[in-house]
A and B are shown apart, each in its own frame.
Chain A
Amino acid sequence: MASRDVVHYDSPAQRLLRVLSVIFVVFYLIWTLLPFGVMFVSSFKELLDAFKLPAIGDWAGIGVFFDFTPTFKHYNTLFSENNFGRYMLNSLIAAGGSAVISVIFGSLAAYALSRVDFRGKSDLFFWIISTRMAPVVAVMVPLFAIFRSLGLVGTLPGLILAYTTFNLPFAIWILKGFFDNVPYGIEEAQMVDGATRFQAFRSILPLVAPGIGAFIVLCVLFAWNDFLFAAIIGSGGAKTLPVATRELVQPQNIQWGAIMAAGVVTTAPMMLLGLVIRKYLVTGLTMGAVKE
């Protein structure tokens, strides 16, 4: 059996390029990860410790960064005084609610667009995605006016609806591609076996699960990290984590410790979600289903 290694012959220039690219990646990692590191460490420091810095050029003084007694003070403040438990729940409900609604309607619409031919289908399909082409800010004012007259401003249902408006077209586009890859023969076999059209649709959902998983992650990320909708539509009654964090910056007093802790509370769940779902996303199920 032949070796499966990719055979490689480097010229000196290519070797140099390889070294340079490693250096670039190292700097890039420092650039992207250091802020998270600082945030994480600072959230466990007293305010005075957090701002202790070595003199410029004093590389030996770097130990100052780690010279502190860990404290959960800031986390206590967040959850006892600042009501962050509530805001976290709001974020969770808004992100999860819009993800669930978008998946339900999105998969139904995507299935229809994938399986049924009708006049104006391509126009409709384009029109669906075109709602994502305008910048969010551009539609914010009219959207706010509509939401206010419907009494949805400052409520969780309002926020869920706002996120769904933006996530649904996305869901339809992603899921249609996945449905297109499922052979129609499987549903036909189901229907001959005795299934209704809807049961046949449900039976192929496991085959588009990777698509649904990918979409849920993207949808939750969008809603969880969103600031604009949360600040304007959700302001007041449906405050989410980013908005609540922003409010820790007060004119007289920037609560750095609490802000750092809030940052950790906001980012950690999304990172965990990414880790948990990663394996699931790359699992393909349709392989070998049908002889082509």
Chain B
Amino acid sequence: MATVTIKNVWKYYGKTPAVKDLSITCPDGSFVSILGPSGCGKSSTMRMLAGLEHISAGDVMFDDMRINDLAPKDRDVAMVFENYALYPHKTVFENIANPLRLRKMPEATIKDRVLGAAKVLEIEHLLDRRPQELSGGQKQRVAIGRAIVREPKLFLFDEPIAHLDAKLRAHMRGEIKHLQKTLGTTMIYVTHDQLEALSMADYIAVMHDGELQQWGTPSEIYNKPVNAWVAGFVGEPAMNFLSIDIQSRDDDVTLIHPNFEIPLLPRQVAFLNGAANGGKARMGVRPDALSIGMQKPVEPSITGEIFVNELLGGDMLVEVKLKDCRIRVKTSTDFEGRPGETCYMTVNRDKWHMFDAGDGHAYF
């Protein structure tokens, strides 16, 4: 187990920076997810931690030891690769035993540990098979087995369940989280799937274009995004964004949009710092912070025209056409509006967000 500190780390491929001035501290025993779209630098970060890529600048520390110049074998990390990277000519047993054999452990210990890992992962009956005889989920378990068998300081998981089908993925999310809590080993888990990050991690590092956007617990990332990019990336269905004008009237500050005029809550006015007074901003609201109805309510509401209804099983997603854009609203399945009809939406003003129209940083 180890605390992993990434200090001002840069990664260049030629002259292109892939990771820019990244600083993260992963507490001992925590489950940290690095979340971002493809090309955001998350895999480069992981490969630098594993020692498969050189670190262009900055320091990486495991506890108090600087590991920049150590070979992968000396870092005591275990990695699960996106494509599993099992050894095709070895049996499952030998695949899992490989890290122990390389450390020249006694045969009895190897057998104990491999059987132990196989038991945890429920693959005891597969030990004599070769990787090509396994299904995707089984290969994935073998790859995890190879990682946990040697009790390393740090686990690195590189999108390990991205290739599994949806049902198995949901199952493996729970399994991996449980495994990490049981072993208590620090884990860094790279993914592009925000649901995986939100559901499994203790802390999430959101990356975009090589830069760290936000570091926080899943609930901080979801409820208090620091900018419009994070707000839009995290959450499914995605947050709605609307361009609005801000105007002060008497005591109130009101958001003006061709379809509605809604005042801010008094405590929210302070967050604007007067910066956006009389100017433009972007309003962000998640589909579940909106309520939709066919009767015009008393409170300020948004008027729109139903574009399409999508049934999501337990919920209904309604796409509503406004004058300059479309927004999505989550509602219950007994919603009776038909496409083309006029509808009215109210906003849970505790749950909306306001972003700067320029750089997208969050006011609240």
Contacts and interface: CB of A to CB of B under 8 A. Distances in A.
A193 B90 CA distance: 15
B89 A285 contact: yes
Interface string B58-86: 00000000000001110001110101111
Nearest to A206: B89
Contacts of B52: 188, 191-192
Contact of A194 (B85, B86, B102, B131): B102
A285 B156 CA distance: 28
Contacts of B146: 189, 193
B73 A196 contact: yes
A289 B88 contact: yes
A291 interface: yes
Contact of A289 (B86, B98, B103, B150): B86
Contact of A191 (B72, B83, B130): B72
A190 B81 contact: no
Nearest to A209: B89
Contact of B102 (A199, A207, A290, A292): A199
Contacts of B156: 192
B88 A191 contact: no
Contacts of B130: 288
Given A188-B52, A195-B73, A288-B131, A203 B87 contact: yes
A186 interface: yes
A190 B73 CA distance: 9
B51 A289 contact: no
Nearest to A195: B102
B132 A287 contact: yes
A186 B89 CA distance: 11
B207 to A, nearest CB: 22
A203 B72 CA distance: 16
Contact of A190 (B50, B84, B98): B98
Interface residues of B, number: 31
Contacts of A203: 87
A286 B85 CA distance: 11
B85 A188 contact: yes
Contacts of A195: 73, 102
A183 interface: yes
A35 interface: no
A82 B50 CA distance: 64
A191 B78 contact: no
A191 B77 CA distance: 10
B81 A288 contact: no
A207 to B, nearest CB: 6
B99 interface: yes
Nearest to A205: B89
A189 B81 contact: yes
A206 B298 CA distance: 75
A185 interface: yes
B131 A191 contact: no
Nearest to B75: A192
Given A195-B73, A207-B88, A288-B132, A185 B99 contact: no
B139 interface: yes
A291 B156 CA distance: 19
Interface string A253-292: 0000000000000000000000000000000011111111
Contacts of A291: 83-84, 136, 139, 163
Interface in B93-125: 98-99, 102-103
Given A191-B72, A289-B131, A185 B102 contact: no
Contact of A188 (B78, B81, B132): B81
Contact of B103 (A194, A206, A287): A194
A290 B84 contact: yes
Given A186-B87, A189-B85, A196-B71, 4 more contacts: A189-B81, A194-B99, A288-B88, A288-B130
6 shortest interchain CB distances as A-B pairs: A288-B132, A289-B88, A185-B85, A189-B85, A194-B102, A193-B99
Interface of B: 50-52, 71-73, 77-79, 81, 83-89, 98-99, 102-103, 130-133, 136, 139, 146, 150, 156, 163
Interface of A: 183, 185-186, 188-196, 199, 203, 206-207, 285-292
7 contacts: A192-B52, A192-B72, A192-B77, A192-B78, A196-B71, A289-B86, A289-B131
